[in-house]
Amino acid sequence: MSHTIICGMDAHDNTLTNRIGVDREAAETMTVRNTQEGREKLFQHLKELAREYEGARILVSYEASPIGFGIYDECVAAGIDCHILAPTKMPKSPRDRKSKHDRADAQRIFELLKGHVLAGNALPDIWIPDHQTRDDREIVRSRLDAGEKLAAVKTQVQTLLKRNHVQRPESVRRCWRKSHYKWLGEVELKPGAHIALSSLLRQISSLEEEIRVLDNQIEEMSQTERYRLAAEALFVQIKGVGLLTAMVFLAEIGDMRRFSNRKQVGSFLGLAPSCRESGEESDRKGHITREGPARLRKILCQAAWVRIIYDEKEARVYERIVQKNPKHKKIAIVACMRRLGVLMWHIAYDAQMKAGVFGDEQQKAASARTA
């Protein structure tokens, strides 16, 4: 009879709390430092257990978190099966929420793995992007972060002017153009406010230059064989979708083949309505789940508004939904966001299939994991 070494891991920046057991046996706790030495110590202990049980399979799992995929990569390199679980898909009782500590979290993951091994229960694991996709995400996320920082600094400028009772003259019609920057450089303020404004203007100049550099990097990335066909298809075929929107969408989703229908796409984007149905209570649709990457919903919202302005067909769809819910216009824009996300998925899917950018091995991994 084959055995399985089960390790439920609660991973943090400094420590790894593990609950380790074999098949149906009770679990033991092992805590190590989250360092190279500590992880090697854990892997050595797991392999020693595997040898005691005559080559037993080792299965490790931990929750997705900002620590990334480093532990997963080391497990794979050590010949250990590893799953990263989606925290939003892991059931938690009210009692679990009130009693949270590392050992309990590791035990909860251990029980999920145990049910998977012994009873074949499905694991709420996530799709693991390949190394190139992870690296590409760093570029587009840096570009989005720079844009958010620029918007925040511009808001600080507006607030500073408001505090000092300075109003923009009528001759300066639009903000953040050459005429506006020229006027900001000539505004008369008290010494302290003038120093603060000069500092903010220097920050704006620096951030705008950084955005130009990142935009050039993203444009170069879009011309690579991996993205060229899909990026061009999204940019050309859909009004309101620019190069940045297309590249964020492609980098965040990765392999489009891991979704089999539009419902899965809507669920991944967090644009699917929540529901509540229990006993005789009929199914009630609530707010959207907001699961998945928030940055993707943000760019879809911006692109959807542009599409409504420049695409007459989409504008009619938006108006039709608004007429049904005049007091809840957010429902209409969310519906347009979902329509846009699904349309982008269809187009990118066809382009990726044509380009063959993802191999058979990644296709099998995508099919085996939940979105």
* Residue 14 pLDDT exceeds 60: yes
**Token couple for 151:** 């918007």
How far is 210 from 143, CA to CA, in rounded Å? 9
Q: Is 360 exposed, middle or buried (0-12, 13-18, 19+ CB in 10 A)?
A: exposed
Q: Which of 292, 366, 294 is nearest to 64 (CA)?
A: 292
Mean pLDDT of 332-351: 96
How far is 266 from 289, CA to CA, in rounded Å? 10
What does the pLDDT look like over 56-84, one tens digit per residue?
A: 999 999 999 999 999 999 999 999 999 99
**What's the whole-model pTM score?**
0.89
* Residue 278 pLDDT exceeds 70: no
Q: Would you tell me the crossing angle of helices 294-310 and 243-253 to the nearest 10 degrees?
A: 140
Among left, alpha and beta (phi > 0; psi -120 to 50; other), residue 68 is left
The pairing of strands 57-63 and 4-11 is parallel
**CB-based contact 6:116 (threshold 8 Å):** no
**DSSP letters spanning 240-255:** T--HHHHHHHHHHH--
What does the pLDDT look like over 305-322, one tens digit per residue?
A: 999 999 999 999 999 999
Assign domain 4-119 to its CATH superfamily: ATPase, nucleotide binding domain (3.30.420.40)
How far is 53 from 290, CA to CA, in rounded Å? 44
Residue-level pLDDT at 284: 67
- The full set of domain ranges for the chain reads 4-119, 132-222, 228-368
Residue-level pLDDT at 193: 96
* Residue 366 pLDDT exceeds 60: no
How far is 113 from 78, CA to CA, in rounded Å? 19
Mean pLDDT of 179-186: 94
**Token couple for 363:** 């296709």
**CB-based contact 127:265 (threshold 8 Å):** no
Residue-level pLDDT at 292: 87
Question: What residue has token string 């979105």?
Answer: 371
Residue 119 CA: distances (Å) to CA of 88, 310, 367: 22, 53, 21
**pLDDT averaged over the chain?**
92
**CB-based contact 9:75 (threshold 8 Å):** no
Mean pLDDT of 98-119: 92
